[in-house]
Amino acid sequence: MLDTTVSPLPTSVTDNGDPVGHNRSDREPIAPDGWPVLGQRYEVPARHGRAVRLKQGQAIKIINTHGLQVCDTWAFKADDLSEFMSMEHARAFIDRIIPQPGDPLVSNRRRPIMTLLADTSPGVHDTLIAACDAYRYQNLGVHEYHDNCADNMRLALKAIGLRAREVPQPFNLWMNIPVGADNGIQWLPPVSKAGDHVVLRAEMDCVVVMSACPQDIVPINNKQPVEVHFEVLASA
């Protein structure tokens, strides 16, 4: 049952860009300052988030290790987190609702912050659905704290000493939300396979945040949230 009339959540905290709840995402950075070892494979644990810094020209390879996992992905300009990869601007820039290899991904100032360089999966991703958050699970009938991508983004940034003013619409890698001719959407498991990956090149110094989506009620992760991995490459 939907219950949208009463909210026991400390929403005034969220308003300031802080998470509603906690998991380990704020205590397990890849490095205190977020800088990666180039070429090293890092894990985004199931239901958790990680942030990593990229210099302009470097690339990040994000790997769907087990094949049926959604990875919510954000990018923020390193020295000004109020500029970020924005799906509503990206869609207008590329005239598509799902980016394809070669597509620039623009920021809310309509300049490329990343480019989708490569994609070994069938290319089914989502740009339409907000990051899951505490309200989402409350609406789905969960009364305790549930890990969620919005908090994972906030916590992963906090782990490297950063804070964003808002939770932008993420680039939901491998999320399978087909849009029908009637404008209806469906929530389906990914069509990717184990080991599929995408490569995104940084077009400016930026911070990339990933959340291994903890959604286990609707089937977008095949109801089995698992880990994903990533590597930062010197160039691409």
Please give the residue ranges that form the binding site for a second copy (CB under 8 A): 4-5, 7, 11, 15, 80, 82-83, 86-89, 91-93, 95-98, 106, 108-112, 128-130, 133, 135-136, 138-139, 165-166, 169, 179, 181, 183-187
3 state SS of 229? strand
Cβ proximity to a second copy, 11 vs 40, nearer residue: 11
Residue 228 to residue 8: CA distance in whole angstroms: 32
| Residue written as token pair 């087990």 | 66
Cβ proximity to a second copy, 22 vs 91, nearer residue: 91
3 state SS of 161? coil
Q: Residue 37 Cβ, how far from a second copy at the closest point, in Å?
A: 31
Q: Residue 39 Cβ, how far from a second copy at the closest point, in Å?
A: 29
Q: Residue 194 Cβ, how far from a second copy at the closest point, in Å?
A: 25
Residue 113 to residue 117: CA distance in whole angstroms: 13
Q: Residue 26 Cβ, how far from a second copy at the closest point, in Å?
A: 22
Cβ proximity to a second copy, 67 vs 112, nearer residue: 112
Cβ proximity to a second copy, 131 vs 232, nearer residue: 131
**162, two tokens:** 């950063």
Q: How many CA atoms lie within 13 A of 232 on its CB side?
A: 22
| Residue written as token pair 């990339």 | 208
Task: Mention every residue, 6+ apart, whose C-beta is less than 8 A from residue 183.
Answer: none
Q: Residue 131 Cβ, how far from a second copy at the closest point, in Å?
A: 9
Cβ proximity to a second copy, 140 vs 233, nearer residue: 140
Closest by alpha carbon to 134, among 152, 117, 116? Answer: 152
Q: Residue 41 Cβ, how far from a second copy at the closest point, in Å?
A: 31
Residue 50 to residue 171: CA distance in whole angstroms: 15
Strand partners, 198: 62, 119
Cβ proximity to a second copy, 130 vs 226, nearer residue: 130
